[in-house]
Amino acid sequence: MSDRNVAMFERIKDYLNSDKKQTHLVAVGSGHMLGDKGIVPLLEQTGFKVKKTLAAELYPHGTAIMSTLQQVAGAIGSALAMTMLATGQVNYLRDQGFVMSNGLNLA
């Protein structure tokens, strides 16, 4: 993972060193923050000031992003659960001697 951290660090550093003086929001998985080779320590060692929380004016954006991520994760979880349940039902019916074709019982 440290190789990926360094690659992401280099890309983030390029954004931060660009001519555009803007505030940047960088979102990465929690595993990329850990250890001496994490993205945050790499940025701090290079002299960047890293805030680990959103500025107050960005709270609505952070809330919107989190809400969207939760909705997407919920939809994916529901789809996976329904797929597993449907597959289990088809397998059970097949084991009981029912012939299934496109979800229709032909017995």
pLDDT, tens only, 18-35:
877 777 777 888 888 888
Question: How many CB atoms are closer than 10 A to CB 91?
Answer: 11
Three-class SS state of 101: strand
Q: Which of 77, 1, 67, 66 is nearest to 39 (CA)?
A: 1
Q: Write a three-state SS string for 1-47.
A: CHHHHHHHHHHHHHHHCCCCCCCCCCCCCHHHHCCCCCHHHHHHHCC
- Sequence ranges of the domains in the chain: 1-52, 54-107
105 DSSP 8-state letter? E
Question: Which of 63, 44, 61, 68 shows the shortest CA–CA distance to 52?
Answer: 44
- The string of pLDDT tens digits covering residues 27-73 is 888 888 888 888 888 989 989 888 777 778 888 888 898 899 999 99
Specify the pTM: 0.46
